[in-house]
Structure 1
């Protein structure tokens, strides 16, 4: 079988299994089993598959994944995250599109706590959407910002997807966690700028309303009690990684421990919070790790079939500018983002893309973070972006999928603009990681 026939058979089999409803992890395992049986000498090849599965998850690099997820779960179920949003609301003032701006700001805060887009969309959608509807906000100005806010969870450290991407790509977890900071903040600023300009041009879509003023003394007290401590934990994690004082794994362990201490000091660390937080973190961590088990075997099958060498050679010989090749690769990720979730996209594309990245001598951190923005956009890309369906489940009863799709479009375009800036000006991504010790 030629390499392209093997690759086509692999993806057709994977697509069929996913269409009939099998989970991504199980579908990937089954097609890997078929590939191993065909290429590695039948049943005896399964021993190598077991070793590949073991090596793919028995790595120190992945330890921060369950740590950061547990940290976010405890902050979420103990109410720390909700209290932070309330404090932000006190300081926001009377900007145009106030609640929409609050959604972006709260999404950035939740991103530092949860690292998961769908969790952020679910929480903000259930709390802010009814409030926006009550004040007469247009659907595009209520649903759209909440969808955009969820994506910030992927682009602001600690990001679970960034660790997974670095692990699969074999590059620095610390550098990619630091590298996503500037693009994440740029995305938040672009979204807020768009909301304010649109609210001023079309005030009927985000009507002004009276918000009671909170005395400055109370705002300062609440910020000191409920905003500064959790933010300090996140800043400390980033600082430890940036200055090389601790590895991402050590920083994650310290941050998780301090989160438990903070919940205890707030008198929120009870049995219910522990059970829900640990249970949620365990389920999510296991799901991610199961998906990762297919990565090593898939990479080895690609190499053994000759697909890796052939694709790399083909990319090198294409009569196009290397940047056009990069754009084509990102278009493939965009297309996949319409149908499958981010971790699965990483699992499928990184073993194919990474040899091309090395052949073209691109900085893998730069490429990885551009891909992170693309993966962030996948959560809100019609027709099957996962955040779109989360939003449908919590939106007002008269909201259609068409309303949600239309609300997502401006923020998809903002993401594409950010990707263009990152491609045109690589220092946007690389400046901060290059300052690390």
Structure 2
């Protein structure tokens, strides 16, 4: 009896199916299944490509004039002097750009009291140099994602005694601070990654079973460093002076905290490239605009009635995730998400964040990172191949 030959379309399809299976298997090998993503179940079809109107609105820079004025005054040594209430004088910067998300109101940033001592005067040239170089790079350039290995990974490699190379970290864990971390004992899984990134000085002592004990990189916003630099018990080294830190700038004045802390830290303290900051800002604003129009049915230009454009910005967690996207071959995300049964932060009694972030919009971004990274606005123009991402509750 003659064997029936396979139809030609099936023959062509078979190798494609086999290749796709092994590629998918290789991408996620070694990771147990994770919980569902915030923002809904996986999409059956990819979402539509970015809306042109929303892209245009997301690209608008708000508060640029204030920031420029702030930087120019600081570079020329011009601080606003105010009474400290005790007969002395303190100094503050002009802008309210990126208010600390843990402080009520719009207080202006002030120099830590100890920085007025003569022994700190010699930090001012380094402060101005860092601020000037940072601001000179201020332009939108999504290709900065391709430079993150050079800007971040290689300095970390050198610190740990490894030869710097363009090879990515094999696996990374970004550990958020949500109270949902207490629902699972992911500590051992977290510590099994090549690089563990923690956020904003979150405590790990007493929480090892849930959050792990390994820290390879501390990612913070400069408000956190500013507060830490004021306290002798903390002073710049929350995880120890040998743990590298990456910081994004919330106030131009915080470059002084950076200059002082960097002088005593035995590991690199890196400031995120302002081009990277601008990319993250546009991505988050786009997702927030998209969520607003879809949920309210209102035109996107009414978004500003809900969010304060000058203070609205990405969370530290979002930017840490985007940093890991650029320096890691595989990425796991832990401790992102909210629950009515869990504390806002696992290690504090804080009830909620101020309305400076749109977490639901950021969850939609994480969903697309896992499912459809090719449609993420602005990021898709960077030329970066997004690594496999797994989201854990």
> Do these two structures clear the TM 0.5 threshold for a shared fold by scoring above it?
no
The structure with the greater share of residues assigned to strand is 2
